[in-house]
Amino acid sequence: MEVVKTIRPRITLIAAIGASVVSAVAIGSVVASHNFAQITGVLCTLGIIDLIVWLLFVEPKIKYDTQGLVIVNPLRIFQADWAAIEKFDTRYGLAAVVGDKKFTAWSAPAPGRREVAKVNARDFRGTPMQGEAFVEPGRIHYVESGKAFWLLDAVRQESTGQTRNVKTSPNWRGLASLVAIALLTYLNLHV
């Protein structure tokens, strides 16, 4: 059986723990104050916050194996065999390039200006970028897009697959969470 590996950003764990702590504290304060009339509003608000955190930070991921790549974004899913992916672009985040189309992964963003300003030539010693006159910030080996780029590009180059299937589809779980957020917002405002 094929082993599927997953790439997620560092912020995923931090966001999930943060949302859990906020939820626990909010529910704990309502229970401790014996103000059970507010429990519906608190639960709706926490549901909205937790769904937004899940949709924007936990759901985005990159899954890959020896056959191909799957990029899961909040509202769309991109699937492609390795032979179909021509290259990876890292200008704004890791993007799989197929023909004249790009599909950027939310889970591997390029670094911001502050992070790029800290880059030093010593950071590239022992890497494929050592001695380069210009290094695209998204390919720096210790940022999210760079880690994913070097890993996925190596897998893509080693792939021997010949099929060139590409598929983009809606992320139904992401769309369902948007509907749930809208429903919880309505309940919170009108109940």
State the CB neighbour count (10 A cutoff) for residue 109.
Answer: 20
Q: Place 145 in a pLDDT band, splitting at 50, 70 and 90.
A: confident
The domain spans of the chain are 8-59+174-190, 62-170
Q: Place 86 in a pLDDT band, splitting at 50, 70 and 90.
A: very high
Q: What is the pLDDT of residue 1?
A: 43
Nearest to 181 by CA among 79, 70, 74, 44: 44
Q: What is the pLDDT of residue 87?
A: 93
Q: In this predicted model, which residue has the larger pLDDT, 172 or 134?
A: 172
> Residue 95 corresponds to which amino acid?
A
**Residues near 48 by Cβ (< 8 Å), separated by ≥ 6?**
181, 184, 185, 188
This prediction has a pTM of: 0.86
Q: In this predicted model, which residue has the larger pLDDT, 91 or 71?
A: 71
Q: What is the pLDDT of residue 62?
A: 96
